[in-house]
Chain A
Amino acid sequence: AQSVTQPDIHITVSEGASLELRCNYSYGATPYLFWYVQSPGQGLQLLLKYFSGDTLVQGIKGFEAEFKRSQSSFNLRKPSVHWSDAAEYFCAVGALQAAGNKLTFGGGTRVLVKP
């Protein structure tokens, strides 16, 4: 069975500092990996995804993530956070099937940004 672990429940970072969110997955086949961001009371916005190819993936809002198969990881990074980056971040793994993306989510990491 597939699973996703986000070890950090909360992370507090100063505005302008770098951010890294950890994600480890367990999946029996080639994983398709996603990062989503959720603001309070809102749906999920796709930040980036990895299907194949270059293991360093660029996303929106200045985020990037690196797929490391040997470590079963897909960590999200941003060089310099903005106050607007305060939100909940979810890592997800799934299979890109003809029927669509059925995703399994990690528990989420809440990011707080200090002025």
Chain B
Amino acid sequence: GAVVSQHPSWVICKSGTSVKIECRSLDFQATTMFWYRQFPKQSLMLMATSNEGSKATYEQGVEKDKFLINHASLTLSTLTVTSAHPEDSSFYICSASSGRGAFFGQGTRLTVV
């Protein structure tokens, strides 16, 4: 149990386009999901907290208009990187919580060319 699926696992997009990443809790409901960003050989940095049915809460320094988060149901949160630029290239990971802890998706490698 407590499986979190993230899709796609990797994506390459052109500069200026938008990319949507999905995070699904497959066997439990998650009122809250979290989005992290990980630069190469670095730790995970929390970007935002995704709240089902309400606006996301962004960490300081994260542009909410650039990283759009939607949490339309108890099992799905999406992160849309708008007008992507090469500096947005990174590894993005979501997590969802059950009563047993926080569980992570497999991550999405975004490359903007």
Contacts and interface: CB of A to CB of B under 8 A. Distances in A.
B27 to A, nearest CB: 15
A46 B93 CA distance: 14
Identify the interface centre among B33, B97, B107: most chain A CB within 10 Å of its CB.
B97
Interface of chain B: mostly helix, strand, loop or mixed: strand
Interface size class of B (residues with CB under 8 A): 20 to 34
A42 B106 contact: yes
B101 A107 contact: no
A41 B101 contact: no
B103 A103 contact: no
A31 interface: no
Given A42-B107, A44-B93, A101-B97, A34 B43 contact: no
Interface of chain A: mostly helix, strand, loop or mixed: strand
Interface string A82-112: 0000000010001000011111111110000
Interface size class of A (residues with CB under 8 A): 20 to 34
B32 A94 contact: no
Interface of A: 34, 36, 41-46, 49, 90, 94, 99-108
Interface of B: 4, 6, 30-34, 42-46, 49, 51, 91, 93, 95-97, 100-107, 109
